[in-house]
A and B are shown apart, each in its own frame.
Chain A
Amino acid sequence: MPVVFGTVTRRPVRRGARRALTLAALTTLTLPLFSAAAFADGGRIGTHYSPDPLSPLESWLIYGGTIVAGFLVALILTALSGGKSSDRYRPGQPWEHQEVWLGGEGAAEGAEPTAQETAGTAAPGSGGASGSW
């Protein structure tokens, strides 16, 4: 059965809500992670109540670890969202989906046309162009 999509369905509110939820979830996840190194020192880093200088290891953990953690979060998110692209069209692979019609309801009822059925059906004066990839 062909799939016909003749009308447009817009859901800007739903899309906006989804984006807001994604942003909230990412913020909730990343903020504690980024501040983990600072919390590891009891929250006394960089305040005038604790004037002791940081050791090189602590400095690297704070300034380097934050950046590394950021990259790790980005990598994890990329890996998690990568599964969605497995259905993406790739040239050369067989197309095993139902036919999709947009605005062609008049012809959607018919079966898949064959070369025998279509021989000599062009209207005089009709035109067009073809291409392949």
Chain B
Amino acid sequence: MAAGEAFRQDQIDRLNNARLLAERQTGIGFHVRVGAVSGDPKTAAERLLGEIVGGQSAAAVLVLVSPGQRFVRIATTPAARRRIPDAAASLATLSMTSSFAVGDLVGGLVSGLRQLADVAGPPPESVPVGAA
């Protein structure tokens, strides 16, 4: 890994594969951000998710990880929340943090994305795939 890069290319590929698989499986837009956050990470995640969605009512999920602050936040839009309840998101964060605690950022994110996709299930017929 070169200095200044958080992940190697193979790790990026693994994360992107997990993210795209979750999107294809559910029709929900999954976004991941790993990096430092100034202030409250929870509100930061909500703001970033709002920017991604752009005021639309699309189903989208943002997984915000701040390794320096040892904090992870899963933010869901109202449309995504109907398919991924907060309790399921809590379980996913628990799964992720248990991997993060032993230094496995990529494994934790992949496992969390897979868990969220399993909870959401396949997209309803009326919702276009990749709406976000």
Contact mask for chain B residues 16-41; partner A; CB cutoff 8 A; 1 contact, 0 none: 11011001000001111111111111
CB-based contact A112/B36 at 8 Å? yes
Counting CB contacts under 8 A, is A90 at the interface?
yes
The total of interchain contacts (Cβ-Cβ below 8 angstroms) comes to 193
Quick one: which of B42, B46, B78, B97 has the most chain A CB within 10 A?
Answer: B46
Query: What A residues does B103 contact at CB under 8 A?
Result: 88-91
Name B85's contact: one of A121, A125, A127 (CB within 8 Å). Answer: A127
Enumerate A80-102 residues with CB–CB distance to B below 8 Å.
84, 87-92, 94-95, 97-102
Query: What A residues does B96 contact at CB under 8 A?
Result: 131
Smallest Cβ-Cβ distance to A111: which chain B residue:
B38
Contact mask for chain B residues 81-108; partner A; CB cutoff 8 A; 1 contact, 0 none: 1001110011011101110111101000
Name B32's contact: one of A87, A104, A130 (CB within 8 Å). Answer: A104
Q: Which residues of A contact B (CB under 8 A)?
A: 2-3, 5-10, 15, 84, 87-92, 94-95, 97-104, 106-107, 110, 112-119, 121-133
In the complex, 25 of the A-B residue pairs with CB atoms within 8 angstroms, ordered by the A residue number, are A3-B5, A3-B6, A8-B17, A89-B103, A91-B100, A91-B101, A95-B68, A98-B5, A102-B15, A102-B31, A102-B32, A103-B20, A104-B52, A107-B51, A113-B39, A115-B39, A121-B47, A122-B46, A123-B78, A127-B89, A129-B92, A130-B41, A130-B72, A132-B72, A133-B70
